[in-house]
Amino acid sequence: MPTLSRDLTSAHTLDPDAPVVIRFPAVGDTVLLTTLIDALARRYRRPVHLLASGEWTPVLLANDPDVGELRLVYSRRAPYWLMPSQWAAARWLRAHRGPVYFCERDAYGRQLLRHAGVPPGRLVDAWTQWPGNSVHWADWWLQIAALDAPGIAGPPLPPGLSARPRLHADAAWHRDTQAWLQAQGLQERPLVLVQPGHKKTFKRGRVGTVTHDKHWPAERWAEVIRAVITDQPRAAVLVCGSSREAGLVQEIVDAAGPVPAPAQVVNIARNPSLQRLVSLAARAHSMISVDTGPAHVAGAMDCPMVVLYGEAGWGRWLPRAATSDVIALGLRDPTLGRKLMDLSAGEVISAWRRLRPRAGLILDPLTGDHA
């Protein structure tokens, strides 16, 4: 289990010669980054240290045996002289001697490198190796893992490494989720997850939401939900989101209208939990999602899913699952002007019906293993 350095004045390190990864990720980026972390841990035969940000990062990586020490920066954009977490991060970097895999391209990350005095001979600058939009993030991370810092020759990258992100869920998350499902009367139902929001939802208010390329109206989500219930009459459709998306989620639940018993449509954005989302994705029948971080969480938990894409395209961003289907709707390559509004509810329903059933839907609440 990684050591999370919350004491911002601490210069403690577990292994000063281990590789360090610098990445300030969103939720989906954190999941994708596990490919690089796993590859570097296999290559150097030791856990990898990580300098990152975001309250979700220690949650998603808390149980990852390939993460050594996790250091958080709480605002890299604020002036350096105002942010103790930046001072501590610079001291922390100075205490290490191993290669530094710098996986950011903004000026704020480079400022930290300068304050830490990381010499060029220790630096692998990932974005100087940018391959363009033709390569998936996970495949690119494997390419970066094979690189050496100019002054530090590492061992060769072992062959046969998987370019598939993965998460390590705590068994307690599964027990807590099982208890939550029982309290809701949902423990025996097929669970279908719907993720309509993304990190830009309501960022600029309602106007920004409806004009965004990932916006899809409540009426179309409702049509999809009604089709799911037609095919799965006992299903519980759990409409997910962050707390700020609870109103949007409720619009979708209301638009779906009364559903035939015993099916249910539940707004779970009012009291969201990332740990619960991980556990729900591990047992769900399927997910239908916009292009956003929770879809990558579900892919890492091998959940069958349909993902809707706008301008970004799916070529670099498609979630990867171990055995389950992941169906992308939209164009592969980035296309300015492409919107989710170009997709009909019928296309989404048809794609969802093509998903193969997953094996081992029921999890042992004591161990988190598939029954």
> Residue 249 is which amino acid?
V
Q: Both tokens of residue 281?
A: 């994705």
* Residue 342 resides in a domain: yes
**At 370, is the secondary structure helix, strand, or coil?**
strand
Same domain, 207 and 314: yes
CATH number of the CATH domain containing 215:
3.40.50.2000
- Number of domains the chain contains: 2
**Cα–Cα nearest to 352, from 186, 165, 214, 192:** 192
| Of 111, 145, 179, the domain-final residue | 145
* Residue 366 resides in a domain: no
Domain that holds residue 292: 171-354
Considering the entire predicted model, what is its pTM?
Answer: 0.91
**Cα–Cα nearest to 324, from 354, 357, 348:** 357
**Cα–Cα nearest to 124, from 3, 61, 43:** 43
User: In this structure, are residues 95 and 16 in contact, taking their beta carbons and an 8 Å threshold?
Assistant: yes
Same domain, 190 and 291: yes
Say whether pLDDT at 9 is over 50: no
Say whether pLDDT at 362 is over 80: no
Same domain, 108 and 230: no
DSSP code per residue over 310-339: -TT-STTT----SSS-EEEES-SS--TT--
Task: Characterize the bridge pairing of strands 20-22 and 191-195.
Answer: unpaired
Q: Which residues pair with 194 in a beta bridge?
A: 239, 288
Name the average pLDDT for the chain. 90
Check the CA dihedral 221-224-228-233 and report its sign: positive
- Under the banding of pLDDT at 50, 70 and 90, the label for residue 100 is very high
- Reported as a single tens digit per residue, the pLDDT across 254-312 is 999 999 999 999 999 999 999 999 999 999 999 999 999 999 999 999 999 999 999 99
Strand (E) or helix (H) holding 229:
helix 218-231
